[in-house]
Amino acid sequence: MPVISAPHDFNEGHLFVDLKSILGCPLYLKCEGFNFAGSIKLKAANEMVEGAEREGILKPDSVIVESSSGNLGVALSMIAASKGYKFLCVTDSRCNLSTRLLMEALGSKVHIVADLDENGGFLGTRIEYVRSLCASDDRYVCLSQYTNPGNWQAHYRTTAPQIARHFPNLDVLFVGTGTAGTLMGCARYFQQWHRPVRIVAVDSVGSVAFGGEPGRRMIPGLGMSMRPPLLDESYVDEVIRVEEADTIRACHQMARRGFLFGGSTGTVVSGATHWLARHDTRDLTAVAIAPDLGERYLDTVYQTNWLQDLFGDEILAPTGQPTTFEAEEPAPREADSWPQA
């Protein structure tokens, strides 16, 4: 039994769920939600903070400020509290209420932007607010998850080797795409592996990460309203885009069997299910990555009124099956102790 003194010292990385009995196709799900931050973002957060400390960027009076749709914000809140830093998360209205409350309970501040960017999302607005803060006071330090190589290096060093250890005959890996940190870290690792592994990136319809038209996206975690700076498509074999309605159906399909996962996981599982249905799965070893669990989505993905208002009464009809996809190749601290914005 591990004994730890800091919350980021514990992260269960060797738990997989066999989904074949639920989905009817061979798929192993790597569960990344079993740590004190509750998501895969703990890996990137820890890597980026430690990198900033090594470079002398973070000082005792520093305030870490970062744009996040939720999970990275929680991870940074936890690490900041443990290490004695202040943290300000810049997010938007799609961030789950429970996530915002969790960050505040850890002593962080949360700023919610309301203005859409030119692609109809909030990311550009969030990033601009972070830049303005950093320009106004040098105590603000942005780790920049969208450009920081520590984001993908964390998964190159941990996530991918963990998968390789348990599945030495891996054939295909499904990875959800937001900042592309997990995708790039795993893709770079498996490109150098002893056997070919097909890397399938899973994105949300309405995201412009891989091009295409922007559209409404209500479930945080996956998708971007700009091209991720870390993304190198030469490492990606295929891209699948999933409608949010199919994300929700996949989440509820797993929940009916006792597995409560978050929206990002529902997107990845839905995309993987479609891909597997179109390919010969005999002797195929397929793994998907589940970024988090479902408790933070109880007031959205698992809330009937929210679902009906956005997707209509038929969203969870018993006969409903995922049908739409597109595939293509390649407690707050005292206010006066914070810098003034």
pLDDT at residue number 319:
43
Q: HSE (CB half, 13 Å, CA atoms) of 246?
A: 22
Q: HSE (CB half, 13 Å, CA atoms) of 277?
A: 14
Those residues whose C-beta lies under 8 Å from the C-beta of residue 44, and which sit 6 or more positions away, are: 72, 75, 145, 150, 151, 154, 155, 179, 181, 182
- Reported in sequence order, the residue ranges of the chain that DSSP labels E, i.e. its strands, are 16-18, 28-31, 63-67, 86-92, 109-113, 140-142, 172-176, 198-204, 238-242, 286-290, 325-328
Q: Could you tell me the two tokens for 110?
A: 């949360």
The tens place of each residue's pLDDT in the chain, 341 residues long, gives: 689 999 999 999 999 999 999 999 999 999 999 999 999 999 999 999 999 999 999 999 999 999 998 899 999 999 999 999 999 999 988 888 889 999 999 999 999 998 877 767 788 899 999 999 999 999 999 999 999 999 999 999 999 999 999 999 999 999 999 999 999 999 999 999 999 999 999 999 999 999 988 888 888 878 888 899 999 999 999 999 999 999 999 999 999 999 999 999 999 999 999 999 999 999 999 999 999 999 999 999 999 999 999 999 888 876 444 434 445 544 443 444 566 54
Those residues whose C-beta lies under 8 Å from the C-beta of residue 287, and which sit 6 or more positions away, are: 16, 27, 28, 29, 30, 163, 167, 170, 172, 173, 174
pLDDT at residue number 294:
95
What number of other Cβ atoms are within 10 A of residue 314's Cβ?
10
**Closest residue by Cα to residue 142 from 88, 93, 182, 208:** 88
Q: How far, in Å, CA of 246 to CA of 333, rounded?
A: 40
pLDDT at residue number 340:
56
pLDDT at residue number 321:
46
Q: How far, in Å, CA of 68 to CA of 134, rounded?
A: 16
CB 241 within 8 A of CB 177: no
> What secondary structure letter does DSSP report for 240?
E
Q: What is the dihedral of CA 268, 270, 276, 282, to 10 degrees?
A: 80
Q: HSE (CB half, 13 Å, CA atoms) of 74?
A: 23
pLDDT at residue number 301:
94
Which residues are bridge partners to 30 per DSSP? 16, 289
